[in-house]
Amino acid sequence: ISKTMSFDPSIEIIILKLNKTKKIDNILHIGACLGEEISFYQRLNPKKIYWFEPNPKLLSKLNENVSGQSFESLVFPYAVSNKKGKAEFNIIEDTNKTNPGCSSLHNLKIHAELYQDITKVDTCTVETINIDEFLNEKNLETKFDLVSLDTQGHDFEILSSSKIIFNAKAIVIETAEVELYEGQKTDVEIDSYLESKGYYKNYYHKFHHVWGDSLYLKKD
């Protein structure tokens, strides 16, 4: 699933408001696609953004879109998962090649029924990392105020193998009510896991009748 845009405006308004009282300095964006959110992130006046995107077809355009900022904006060409290794990555596109954001470590499931023009066009081997291990090993930033996950069905594997993500004041996750991809955890499971980590779902924007963006805020 992909939206060739940033977050829903309502989510942006909530995050901008949060930024006034609890400054968002560092942003972690996992599943960066082409970095469409950069124009929104600029409004937060951050110090650092780390973008993670494994799709080799998107990397040069992503770098072009997010580089040259007044703050540190770094692209890392890895698939964030639960552990370091290698994995088969499915390159999934629509017939017009205009929807690059559907590629995933998972195979298509209900997604393929909902969007019949979307198919797997290729696979490639990508390097996977555990986000905590990677940032610690490389002596990179580990405290993020805002985390965005858009990994096409792989979010639970990332969340359940990370501690640093849960330092964030706000987490945005593209969630689904059904298994759009094989093995994907549904929004009910994601909601309940985030709740166990001290977050509540503040806002949900439906882009489609079975999926959308969920904004979770840390309970005070």
pLDDT tens digits for range 23-50 = 999 999 999 999 999 999 999 999 999 9
Give the model confidence (pLDDT) of 118-167 as tens digits.
Answer: 888 889 999 999 999 999 999 999 999 999 999 989 999 999 999 999 99
Structure tokens at 157: 């594997």
Section 182-197 average pLDDT:
95
CA–CA separation, 171 vs 67, rounded Å? 23
Report the pLDDT value the prediction gives residue 181, as an integer from 0 to 100. Answer: 85
Q: How many CA atoms lie within 13 A of 26 on its CB side?
A: 13
| pLDDT band at 72; cut points 50, 70, 90 | very high
Q: Is 174 exposed, middle or buried (0-12, 13-18, 19+ CB in 10 A)?
A: buried
Please state the φ and ψ torsions of residue 98, each to the nearest 5 degrees: -105, 5
Section 92-100 average pLDDT:
72
DSSP symbol at 101: G
Question: Could you tell me the pTM of the whole model?
Answer: 0.94
Structure tokens at 168: 């964030």
Section 64-69 average pLDDT:
96
Give the model confidence (pLDDT) of 2-22 as tens digits.
Answer: 444 579 999 999 999 999 999
Task: Kindly give, in sequence order, each residue whose CB lies less than 8 Å from that of residue 74, ignoring residues fewer than 6 positions away.
Answer: 48, 49, 50, 51
Task: Output the CA angle 30-19-186, nearest 5 degrees.
Answer: 40
Q: How many CA atoms lie within 13 A of 34 on its CB side?
A: 14
**Average pLDDT for the chain:** 92
- Which amino acid, 72? E
